[in-house]
Structure 1
Amino acid sequence: MGPKYNGLYELIENDSEADDYFDNLPDYVKESIYEREQNINSFDSLRDYAANLMRNE
């Protein structure tokens, strides 16, 4: 498990792998993640949340 951040913006600012991953997500997934950005505090949580959203398409 990687480092924890204070939210999505800090995560993608400090983790280039997370930034690349986020950039390649579909727009509807990004919008949902933006709404809960304070809960996304690690690359693992970003991947898990995005996977859940895409699984429920």
Structure 2
Amino acid sequence: MSTKSFPTRVTEAKSLLEEAAAGAPEDLRAERMANLQEAIEFLRRLETSFQNERTDD
């Protein structure tokens, strides 16, 4: 589990995705790819939590 704050994780995830979108796929190194996968999973969990909140209304 990450010890980073929620806003920091969102900002980092957004930055990683923007960088990946701007670069060519062959530019992704293994470590960067792992960070990108972690960011994607974090955003998926975040999206799911928001969807769950909407259905709780």
**Scaled by the length of structure 1, what TM-score is found?**
0.38
| Higher-Rg member (1/2) | 2
Judging by fraction of residues, say which structure has more helix. Answer: 2
